[in-house]
Amino acid sequence: MHVLIARDADELAEIAADVFRERVRACPDLAMAVPAGRTPRRMYTRMAQLQARAPIDYARMRVFSVDELCPPAPPDGYFWRQIRAEFLSWANVEAARCRPFAVDAGDLDAMCTAYEAAIAEAGGLDLVMLGLGPNAHLASNEPGCAFDVRTRPVRLLDVTVRYILTDDVIQGEVCERAVTLGLATIMTAREVIVLVSGEAKRAPLARMLDGPVTPEVPASVLRTHPRCLVITDRAARP
């Protein structure tokens, strides 16, 4: 695991944007699970600014989701709305190359099985980029989650639901039902990048990096990944 420490949230966004763009340049048909949430928001803004003056071709990417809230959250995807507005709206990735979670499916278990099959059909995920939860959850894999689980429906803890609602941008109704890439799915990606910003993430980041590798700290499993990059700022990692 490699840790990069940025000066602040703005520099973190610059570094993350550069890394994202570099990965796409190196592999134009990159299969990537892209992040939503407050920390990626600055990154997407920076990427859009760079695209205006130094464009790169995102059109061949295969875009997957990290996790998603289920109805009564928006059936077109609570987190996917952000990805569509802040990244896909200007990146010109065709809808056929995007695979959001179909959270309006009648059978969520079958949908998640099909999602795993779609990842396999893409040749596996080249990159998963995601944030770190305030209780050290990874994607929507809450503390206590087994390391060998795959994509599946889950129930979020109340603290996670409350955290989502503290974002400056609310995409619609928020609920405790979700679907998520499993920890085993994330661990089979060829690379994992975690974005961590702010003093509120200091404790979970310390548990991820310095504590025992345990299901009680889901993100700690990444210490066993062969290629994991953590990009953090000084507020989260003094």
Q: Is 66 helix (H, G, I), strand (E, B) or coil?
A: coil
- Residue 44 and residue 87 in contact, taking contact as beta carbons nearer than 8 Å: yes
Biggest CA-to-CA distance, the chain: 46
67, 68, 126, 233: the active-site residue: 67
Sheet containing strand 177-180, strands side by side: 67-69, 177-180, 152-155
68, 142, 191, 233: the active-site residue: 142
Comparing C-alpha atoms, which of 203, 237, 208 is closest to residue 222? 208
14, 126, 137, 191: the active-site residue: 137
Instruction: Verify whether residue 92 is a known catalytic residue.
Output: no
Which residues, listed in sequence order, are joined to residue 4 by a DSSP beta bridge? 231
Q: Is 180 helix (H, G, I), strand (E, B) or coil?
A: strand
68, 135, 191, 233: the active-site residue: 135
Instruction: Verify whether residue 67 is a known catalytic residue.
Output: yes
- Residue 143 and residue 135 in contact, taking contact as beta carbons nearer than 8 Å: yes
- Residue 218 and residue 142 in contact, taking contact as beta carbons nearer than 8 Å: yes
| Pairing between β-strand 127-131 and β-strand 31-34 as defined by DSSP bridges | parallel
List the catalytic residues.
Answer: 67, 135, 137, 142
